[in-house]
């Protein structure tokens, strides 16, 4: 009997080493290497094979001789999911979906399986029994499908046997950390098992043109559990985000070989499943009975979708020697830069003030067009002056206090006009490419933040 071969894997990046090392040479993490046993015999080297699959000879060909066929994407009947995937499911694609436990990953993709009643779906669960899945499906009434097949299995070889019988159009695996392959002598969920199982599913997807969805867990740091190489193996990586104490969920694209990586889909978690939010601007702007200081509306763009987002700032005198700078959903370093600009160019004294910033709705935004909205919110809270809720802002703020132009300003203005805003502040540079006469909303062109503050004072 051959001696078992052991290899040490880094749990953070997936690098391997023949011996244990304290610090990973690839990612620099300490104490991240774990030992795992691997069998590399030829009899266990078989992975997915299908005699009926149309094979392509593995030989070099000239690029102009490669034949390509334009295949239509497979619709999921879910507008938000189709948008995030780039227009639908691509044949033979491998999609990895990550999210915190209880965020709604299984609910979302079971709902997708039931909505795609014109396709044969095989839903493989390694965590729940078919009875548990059926109980969840009954809550999604009136959704039902005769083409949704359930399988409770964790062995990859057994899954492939059932796949040959069912011949599904889409395969959903929940979750990749529960699968195991007999070729690897280690427990399910280990680095080698996750990578091996993903490799077999990848070859299955590419050889049969059946799209595969892999649902995965995330670590305490918020990254998908397993080696980082797992994200390089798949075609698309989706992140399902949201506060479990709130009802709204965000499906964000991290990687997409077939579409944009800046798209987001927004859902509302209800008792009967996930409701698609087609107009997120309405939910991101709270309806308040009384207007408050420190609250402004910024016009942002996520992918191809314009969003009007409520930015909330609170400025108060520091009770201790060192003032706090705290942000939720926004880059803390960029906030510090904007505060420095307000002190230097705007004349505000914020050195002894605590500043707290929150992006409403649980979103994480890195669009520089929110700079102007954040600056006005900070000044509004500091001076206790209320900014009208009918006014929104779209502009990047530079270190000199100038308001810089942002891209796709027409989409931002049209979204603000559609939601009933009376005025919007944009950079004066945008005046060259805009025709204010065709908009009903009043457009204020400003060159620097001082002009914005003076104009708002005259509005009040």
Residue 168 assigned ligand-binding role: no
Residue 407: inside a domain, yes or no? Answer: yes
Question: For residue 434, what is the domain's CATH number?
Answer: 3.30.230.10
User: Is the pLDDT confidence value at 164 over 60?
Assistant: yes
CA-based radius of gyration for the chain: 26
- Provide the pairing of β-strand 423-427 with 442-446: parallel
Which of 33-47, 177-191, 335-349, 391-405 is predicted with the least confidence, judged by mean pLDDT?
33-47
In a domain, 51, yes or no: no
**pTM greater than 0.75 (yes/no):** yes
Considering the domain architecture, whether residues 104 and 9 belong to the same structural domain is answered as: no
pLDDT of 314 higher than 90: yes
Total number of domains constituting the chain: 3
Q: Is 265 annotated as a binding residue?
A: no
Higher-confidence position of 214 and 282:
214
How many angstroms separate the CA atoms of 368 and 362, rounded? Answer: 18
- Say yes or no to pLDDT of 41 above 60: no
Model confidence pLDDT, tens digit, residues 340-393: 999 999 889 898 899 999 998 778 888 999 999 999 999 999 999 999 989 999
In-domain check, residue 64: no
Domain match, 270 and 318 both: no
Q: For residues 135 and 199, state if they share a domain.
A: yes
Give the pLDDT mean for 434-439.
88
Per-residue pLDDT, 219: 65
Q: Which of 233, 259, 278 is the last residue of a domain?
A: 278
Query: Could you tell me if 386 and 406 lie in one domain?
Result: yes
Q: Please tell me whether residues 361 and 299 are part of one structural domain.
A: yes
Q: Which two tokens stand for residue 94?
A: 């491998």
* Residue pLDDT, tens place only, 65-90: 887 776 788 999 999 999 999 999 99
Report the C-alpha gap between 24 and 7 in whole angstroms.
14
Residue 58, burial from CB neighbour count under 10 angstroms (0-12, 13-18, 19+): exposed
In the chain, % of residues over pLDDT 70: 90
The DSSP code for 272 is T
Query: Is the predicted pLDDT of residue 1 greater than 50, yes or no?
Result: no
Q: Tell me, yes or no, whether 12 and 30 share the same domain.
A: yes
- DSSP run (H or E) holding 412: helix 409-418
456 class by beta-carbon count within 10 Å (0-12 exposed, 13-18 middle, 19+ buried): buried
Instruction: Look at residue 57 and tell me if it is in a domain.
Output: no
Residue 47 lies in a domain: no
Tell me, yes or no, whether 185 and 294 share the same domain: no
201 lies in the same domain as 242? yes
Ligand-binding site membership of 343 (annotated)? no
| Judgement on whether residues 273 and 335 belong to the same structural domain of the protein | no
d(CA 317, CA 328): 20
Q: Which domain holds residue 26?
A: 5-40
CA 354 to each of CA 161, 312, 318, 347, 378: distance values in angstroms, whole numbers, following the listed order: 61, 14, 5, 17, 11
In a domain, 50, yes or no: no
Q: Of 246, 278, 310, at which residue does a domain stop?
A: 278
Distance of CA 233 to the CA centre of its chain: 18
Question: How far is residue 236's CA from residue 97's CA, in Å, rounded to a whole number?
Answer: 8
Query: Is 347 one of the annotated binding-site residues?
Result: no
Residue 111 lies in a domain: yes
130 belongs to an annotated ligand binding site: no
- What letters, b where the CB count within 10 A reaches 16 and e where it falls short, cover 88-118? bbbbbbbbbbbbbeebbbbbbbbbbbbbbee
pLDDT of residue 67: 78
155 is in an annotated binding site: no
- One domain, residues 324 and 218: no
Q: Please check if 104 is assigned to a binding site.
A: yes
Residue 38 pLDDT class (50, 70, 90 cuts): low
DSSP 104: S
Kindly indicate the confidence band of residue 52, based on its pLDDT and cuts at 50, 70 and 90: very low
**pLDDT at residue 292 is higher than 70:** yes
Measure the CA–CA gap between 446 and 19, rounded to whole angstroms: 62
Q: What is the pLDDT of residues 247-288, one digit of tens each?
A: 888 898 989 999 888 788 889 888 888 999 888 887 778 766
Q: Helices marked H in 285-420 — which ranges?
A: 332-344, 371-383, 409-418
For residues 410 and 306, give the distance between their C-alpha atoms in angstroms, rounded to a whole number. 10
- How far does CA 447 lie from the centroid of its chain? 34
Q: Is residue 62 part of a domain?
A: no
211 and 316 together in one domain: no
User: Please, are residues 16 and 24 in contact by the beta-carbon 8 Å criterion?
Assistant: no
Minimum mean pLDDT range among 10-14, 25-29, 80-84, 437-441: 10-14
What integer pLDDT is reported at residue 165 of this predicted model?
Answer: 94
Among 12-26, 224-238, 338-352, 407-421, the least confident range: 224-238
- Residue 291 in tokens: 């207007």
Counting Cα atoms < 13 Å in the Cβ hemisphere of 92 gives 8
Asked if 87 and 29 sit in the same domain, the reply is no
């Amino acid at each position: 009997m051959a001696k078992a071969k052991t290899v040490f894997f880094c749990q953070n990046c997936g690098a391997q080493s023949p011996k244990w090392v304290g610090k990973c040479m690839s990612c620099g993490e300490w104490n991240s290497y774990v030992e795992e046993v691997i069998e590399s015999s030829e009899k266990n080297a078989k992975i997915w094979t299908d005699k009926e699959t149309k094979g392509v000879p593995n030989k070099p060909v000239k690029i102009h001789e490669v034949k390509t066929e334009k295949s239509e994407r497979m619709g999921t009947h879910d507008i938000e999911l189709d948008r995030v995937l780039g227009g639908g499911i691509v044949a033979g694609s491998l999609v990895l979906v990550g999210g915190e436990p209880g965020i709604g990953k299984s609910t979302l993709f079971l709902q997708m399986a039931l909505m795609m009643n014109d396709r044969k779906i095989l839903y493989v669960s390694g965590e729940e029994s078919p009875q548990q899945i059926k109980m969840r499906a009954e809550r999604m009434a009136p959704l039902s499908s005769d083409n949704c097949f359930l399988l409770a299995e964790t062995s990859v070889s057994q899954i492939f046997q059932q796949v040959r019988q069912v011949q599904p159009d889409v395969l959903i695996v929940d979750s990749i950390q529960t699968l195991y392959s007999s070729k690897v002598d280690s427990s399910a969920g280990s680095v080698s098992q996750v990578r091996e199982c993903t490799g077999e599913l990848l070859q299955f997807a590419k050889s049969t043109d059946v799209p595969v969805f892999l649902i995965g867990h995330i670590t305490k740091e918020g990254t998908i559990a397993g080696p980082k190489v797992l994200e390089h193996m798949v075609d698309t990586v989706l992140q399902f985000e949201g506060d479990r104490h709130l009802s709204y969920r965000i499906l964000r694209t991290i990687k997409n070989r077939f579409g944009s990586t800046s798209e987001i889909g927004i859902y509302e978690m209800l008792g009967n499943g996930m409701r698609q939010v087609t107009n997120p601007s309405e939910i991101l702007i709270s309806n308040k009975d009384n207007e408050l200081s420190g609250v402004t509306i910024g016009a942002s763009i996520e992918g191809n979708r314009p969003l009007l987002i409520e930015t909330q700032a609170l400025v108060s005198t520091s009770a201790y020697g060192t003032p706090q700078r705290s942000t939720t959903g926004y880059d803390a370093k960029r906030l510090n830069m904007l505060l420095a600009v307000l002190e230097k160019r705007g004349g505000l004294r914020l050195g002894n003030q605590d500043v707290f910033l929150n992006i409403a709705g649980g979103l994480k935004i890195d669009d520089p067009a929110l700079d102007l909205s954040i600056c006005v919110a900070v000044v509004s809270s500091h001076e206790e002056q209320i900014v009208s809720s009918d006014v929104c802002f779209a502009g990047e703020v530079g270190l000199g206090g100038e308001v810089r132009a942002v891209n796709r300003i027409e989409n931002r203005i049209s979204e603000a006009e559609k939601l009933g805003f009376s005025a919007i502040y944009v950079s004066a540079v945008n005046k060259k490419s805009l025709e204010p006469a065709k908009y009903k909303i009043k457009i204020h062109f400003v060159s620097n933040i001082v002009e914005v503050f003076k104009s708002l004072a005259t509005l009040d």
